Amino acid sequence: MNNSISPDRYHKMKYNRCGHSGLKLPAISLGLWHNFGHVNDFDNSRNLIFTAFNNGITHFDLANNYGPPPGSAEAVFGKILQENFQGYRDEMVISSKAGYTMWDGPYGDWGSKKYLVSSLDQSLKRMKLDYVDIFYHHRPDPETPLEETMDALSLMVQQGKALYVGISNYQAPEAEKAIKILKENGTPCLIHQPKYSMFERWVEGGLLDVLEQNGVGCIPFSPLAQGLLTDKYLHGIPADSRVATSGVFLKESSITPEKIEVISKLNDLARTRQQKLSHMALSWILKDQRITSVLIGASKPEQITDAIMALDHTTFSDEEIKLIDQILA
């Protein structure tokens, strides 16, 4: 692959304002949850970053525990930035998170100020950065006072280690409380990162309304339900699929005949729209004005360029929306 920066990279992407902020995000963002660890091929990881950036994807989403092993996705990304993207930092939005288990002992998990401050310091060292653009609390902590966790996020901004802060995996009531505390701290919540797809629609039960009312952006992850919302599993389980190679996040037992029937019907509808199922699944999320961006993962560069094609057709007729709801019901 030609590892050079494309001069027309911004012509291929749509950018959406994130809530009530001044920040715009690409409609498609790249998540580094998989395929960027020390166990992965470095040249392929670098090609994925080049492909994304050269197609206008300016937002790269990480977390302290991404790998494997944990921390290695940030280290690999930092190496790619240093070796290939010197001078382009200001054209990128880089995010990280903390909230899941990262190191042994009582200070390497959940939402204490001790953990969050330490974790971001480690993340910055791994990526060789002075700051991240967005720092998230990765999941709610049932035992730490929410005020302490949100105060820690505010502190990151005051210290100049993050420009914006966000939350992830928070249900509507706790998200509303977190947003209120951050606002009182003078550090508005920029964005929320929930799991959302045609197969996982809990965000529609109040969360999207809370975000809209408070001017907070939304960036769903797992929009293709770990690959279920593609045509990949219609005729069995491919040898190179996530189910066959890892089986951790998507298990073979979840690919039932009933699920395949639903996927097949959705696939038929996508064809009538002149789309692949994966394109329709992304378009279906992006049709909602409350969605700022959608996070995709990729193991091959062509998966990134393919996903961007979803932006060509993000409108749905009332009949199509109704039919999708009927199929999913």
DSSP string of 255-274, one letter each residue: --HHHHHHHHHHHHHHHHTT
C-alpha span between 73 and 76 (Å, rounded) = 5
The reported pLDDT for the residue numbered 158 is 98
Q: Which of 191, 180, 98, 105 is nearest to 146 (CA)?
A: 180
Residue in the structure block whose two tokens are 């939350």? 167
Q: How far apart are CA 131 and CA 120, in angstroms?
A: 9
Entry field: residues in the chain? 329
Q: How many CB atoms lie within 10 A of CB 263?
A: 23
**Residue 158 amino acid letter:** Q
Q: At what angle do helices 146-158 and 172-184 cross, to 10 degrees?
A: 50
* Edge-to-edge strand list for the sheet holding 294-296: 217-218, 189-193, 162-168, 132-137, 93-98, 59-61, 28-31, 294-296
Q: Give every residue of the chain whose pLDDT is below 70, as ranges.
A: 1-2, 236-250
pLDDT score, position 83: 98
Tokens, residue 290: 């409350």
Backbone angles phi, psi at 259, to 5 degrees: -65, -40
pLDDT of residue 25: 98
- List for the chain the helix, strand, coil content (%; round to 5): 45, 15, 45
What does each C-alpha distance from 119 to 122, 138, 170, 298 come to in angstroms? 5, 12, 20, 26
Cα distance between residue 296 and residue 33, in whole Å? 10
Q: Are strands 93-98 and 217-218 parallel, antiparallel or unpaired?
A: unpaired
**Helix 257-272 vs helix 277-286: crossing angle, to nearest 10:** 80
Domain boundary assignment for the chain:
9-226+279-315
Q: What's the predicted TM-score (pTM) here?
A: 0.95
Q: What single string gives the DSSP state of each residue in 116-166?
A: HHHHHHHHHHHHT-S-EEEEEE-S--SSS-HHHHHHHHHHHHHTTSEEEEE
- CATH class for the domain made up of 9-226+279-315: alpha beta
Q: Measured between alpha carbons, how far is 117 from 156 in angstroms, rounded to an integer?
A: 7
- pLDDT value at position 240? 65
